[in-house]
Amino acid sequence: MKLIQQQFILLAFFLVLFSCSDDNDSTLIEKSTAKEITDFTIDGVKATIDKTTKKISLKLAKQNLTSLTPTIQISDKATVSPKSGVAQDFSKAVTYTVTAEDGSKESYEVSVSSTNTPKSDAKEITEFIIDGKKATIDKTTKKITLSLNKTDLTSLTPTIQISDKATVSPKSGVAQDFSKAVTYTVTAEDGTTTAYNVSVTGATTSTNISTFTHNGKKYEIVKEAKTWEAAAAFAVGRGGYLTEVNDKAEQDAIFQALNKASITMTNTVAPDGGGGAYVWIGGNDITTEGSWVWNGNNQGSGTPFWTGNRTGSVVNSAYVNWGRQTNSPVDASSKFNEPDNFGTGQDGLALSLNGWPLGFAGQWNDVDHTNKLFFVIEFN
Ligand SMILES: [Ca+2]
Ligand SMILES: [Ca+2]
Ligand SMILES: [Ca+2]
């Protein structure tokens, strides 16, 4: 009985052993659970793989991330989807799923970023200052306006603030002629541009301008030294022209007003005019030597009034008051000392304030038109 019992136990043991042997096929050759991404490389750059959070990150020195092909190493016997060697759009995060041999899965989130930040398109003028006064900047119309308490706007130096990495032309700190609108172009880092229109309004009256009238017309004596051309441009900017002296009455009225205008002689000297003090009036022979014209707005060809040098002659009985030895009325004979086109050339018509070796105060001299002199504006 004991033997049978022992045999039964033995049989039962073998039965159990045998029945277990079917399962042993799988438990002995266990399927792998490994499902790691061990290496993730794009363009030769290895990603950082966080094994805990399953996040993979990679920085590339390129801006376009929409089609990048990674090379992926994974655990033995695992598979990955999407596959290694297949391009993906990394402009957003891409999820890679690794499936282990045993069918279990792990997801990795891959984020690629660019070390190339895009070039800035910022191109604003944020501040525009002249003489400490801030201009008004209209961001919509790109118009910049500023009013200053001065009459001479021909050489003002703005200080300009612009967007980071942008450039502006003309540059900040460089003087411009604001007697007319000036366009400033701002170029962003990415090469795009914005144009700003800058208008400066000057004072309408000033201690630098004395006004008088003659024969129903208004005149201004401007006590700011400019070249003949700049003076003409300034006159035009104010709605007038450098005065055209048509007769003795007008000449006398102008000279009388000049004498009352509190002019500091040393501020309006023509060195080539015997070192005397002068003001510009509207004549010149800039275009053709010896062809003197009234052209006080510096537009068109002007009205001829004198031909030749000091031995020349008037055109169409025009009034002239060239420098001469005695302060006598104009004589038809050749007694003028001017115009003499002295030195390297003299093409601007100046009225003397204090006389010079070849003429008296009030008389005219041709002097270098690039001298900077005060001037007289006539208005119609
Ligand atoms: Ca006149
Ligand atoms: Ca000349
Ligand atoms: Ca001269």
The torsion angles phi and psi of 135, rounded to 5 degrees, stand at -80, 160
User: How far is ligand 3, taken at its centre, from the CA of residue 231, in Å?
Assistant: 19
Q: What is the dihedral of CA 305, 310, 311, 315, to 10 degrees?
A: 0
304 prior amide bond cis, ω within 30: no
**Residue carrying structure tokens 């400019």:** 226
The C-alpha atoms of residue 231 and residue 237 are separated, in whole angstroms, by: 10
User: How far is ligand 1, taken at its centre, from the CA of residue 282, in Å?
Assistant: 9
The C-alpha atoms of residue 169 and residue 153 are separated, in whole angstroms, by: 19
Ligand nearest to the CA of 273: 3
DSSP string, 322-366: B-BSS-PPP-SSS-B------TT---EEEEESS-BTTB-TT-EEE
Kindly list the structural domains of the chain, giving each domain's residue range(s) and its CATH number in brackets, ordered by start. 37-114 (2.60.40.2340), 125-201 (2.60.40.2340), 209-379 (3.10.100.10)
pLDDT of residue 21: 47
The C-alpha atoms of residue 106 and residue 79 are separated, in whole angstroms, by: 11
The C-alpha atoms of residue 135 and residue 69 are separated, in whole angstroms, by: 53
Q: Is the four-CA dihedral 26, 28, 32, 33 of positive or negative sign?
A: positive
Ligand nearest to the CA of 216: 1
User: How far is ligand 1, taken at its centre, from the CA of residue 293, in Å?
Assistant: 13
- From first to last of the 380 residues of the chain, give the pLDDT tens digit: 455 555 555 444 444 444 444 444 455 678 999 999 999 999 999 999 999 999 999 999 888 899 999 999 999 999 999 999 999 999 999 999 999 999 999 999 999 998 877 889 999 999 999 999 999 999 999 999 988 877 788 999 999 999 999 999 999 999 999 988 999 999 999 999 999 999 897 775 567 899 999 999 999 999 999 999 999 999 988 889 999 999 999 999 999 999 999 999 999 999 999 999 999 999 999 999 999 999 999 999 999 999 999 999 999 999 999 998 765 555 555 579 999 999 999 999 999 999 999 999 999 999 999 999 999 999 99
User: How far is ligand 2, taken at its centre, from the CA of residue 341, in Å?
Assistant: 4
User: How far is ligand 2, taken at its centre, from the CA of residue 304, in Å?
Assistant: 14
User: How far is ligand 3, taken at its centre, from the CA of residue 340, in Å?
Assistant: 5
Half-sphere exposure (CA, 13 Å, Cβ side) for 328?
7
- b/e string for 343-372 if b means 16 or more Cβ within 10 A? eeebbbbbbbbbbbebbbbbbbbbbbbebb
Ligand nearest to the CA of 352: 3
Ligand nearest to the CA of 289: 2
The C-alpha atoms of residue 244 and residue 251 are separated, in whole angstroms, by: 9
- b/e string for 104-126 if b means 16 or more Cβ within 10 A? eebebebebeeeeeeeeebbbbe
Q: Which of 240, 254, 246, 242 is nearest to 286 (CA)?
A: 242
DSSP state of 277: B
The C-alpha atoms of residue 352 and residue 361 are separated, in whole angstroms, by: 5
User: How far is ligand 1, taken at its centre, from the CA of residue 351, in Å?
Assistant: 14
pLDDT of residue 152: 80
User: How far is ligand 3, taken at its centre, from the CA of residue 255, in Å?
Assistant: 19
Q: Does the pTM exceed 0.75?
A: no
pLDDT of residue 28: 62
